[in-house]
Amino acid sequence: MSSSGSVALLHGSPVITGNLGAVVVAGAAGRALEDITASDVTLITLLVDRSSSIADRRLQQAVREGQNALVDAFAGAKERDSVLMALWTFGSDSNVLHGYVPVDDATRLDSKNYRPGGSTLLYDTWCDALTANVAYAQRLRDGGTPCRSVVVIVTDGEDVGSRRTAGDCARLSADLLASEQFTLAFVGVGKDVDFHAVAKAMGVPDGCVLVQRDATPSALRAAFMMVSRSAIRASQGKIAPGVNAGFFTP
């Protein structure tokens, strides 16, 4: 996607309704505007790696538990009524478990809906999820509901198999961050990859990158807890969006 294309999406261009793939259309689904009672909304998009290396490291149950704990954290937050959550997983393809729904309707990962296998479409998933978020967020704004967006990707590896490049991700990320309506965050698990370099190449600000070098179940659960704390702070307006966001800064 070109820079001009992402800007057009951000400003409600007809591009939103044309030439979008099925996964983007699914990801852009969400609660109807008339059913939203909050005066402003925070959109939380969680993108979770389900490539074969997760299973190789025996981390699949920790991923499920970490994601479940994140949902629990939002369910217990006072901002819960103003939060809509979307959940994607990605391996050799991207799978939208659900678009933007209230916390009580969020899917919890389990052994049936989260079974790791395949490669790592990191770049394709990032671009598709950001595009889907832009499309849904624009519908809310067009209807008079202000919203902020928080997108977090959790992975234990580099991209394998995407059609898009890191440069495509970076151009889209830069446009959205410049709007100061988006917080983009990256969680890397393990020490086999320079995740700071991967995230930088995708356009994620350094203060929004968390690297958990210990690829253990307890370390992964701790990473999810840090994501949930930071996402709740963002929903409270305590983390400013944009390129200077310090998502993982205490």
CB-CB contact of 241 with 180 (8 Å): yes
Q: In whole angstroms, what is the distance from residue 142 CA to residue 12 CA?
A: 8
As a whole number of angstroms, the distance between CA 136 and CA 138 comes to: 5
Q: What is the pLDDT of residue 16?
A: 38
CA 68 to chain centre: 15
Q: What is the pTM of this model?
A: 0.91
User: Domain spanning 3-17+40-235 has what CATH number?
Assistant: 3.40.50.410
Q: Where residue 67 falls among pLDDT bands split at 50, 70, 90? A: very high
Q: Is the pLDDT of residue 60 over 80?
A: yes
Placement of tokens 């671009």 in the chain: 127
Q: Closest Cα partner for 238 from 103, 148, 145?
A: 148
- In this prediction, residue 89 carries a pLDDT of 98
CA pair distance 145, 122, nearest whole angstrom: 31
Tracing tokens 């307890």 back to the chain, one arrives at: 218
Please name the residues in contact with 170: beta carbons below 8 A apart, sequence gap of 6 or more: 201, 202, 203
> Residue 178 — pLDDT band, cuts 50, 70, 90?
very high
Q: Which residues of 138-155 are buried (b: 16+ CB within 10 A; e: fewer)?
A: bbbeeeebebbbbbbbbb
What tokens appear for 72 in the block? 């629990």
Q: What is the pLDDT of residue 72?
A: 96
Residue for token pair 């920790």: 62
Domain boundaries, the chain: 3-17+40-235
Residues 190-224 have pLDDT tens digits of 999 999 999 999 999 999 999 999 999 999 999 99
* C-alpha pair distances (Å), 38 with each of 33, 35, 42, 59, 114: 10, 9, 10, 37, 31
Quote the pLDDT of residue 17.
37
> For the residues 83-104, what does the mean pLDDT come to?
96
pLDDT at 179 over 50: yes
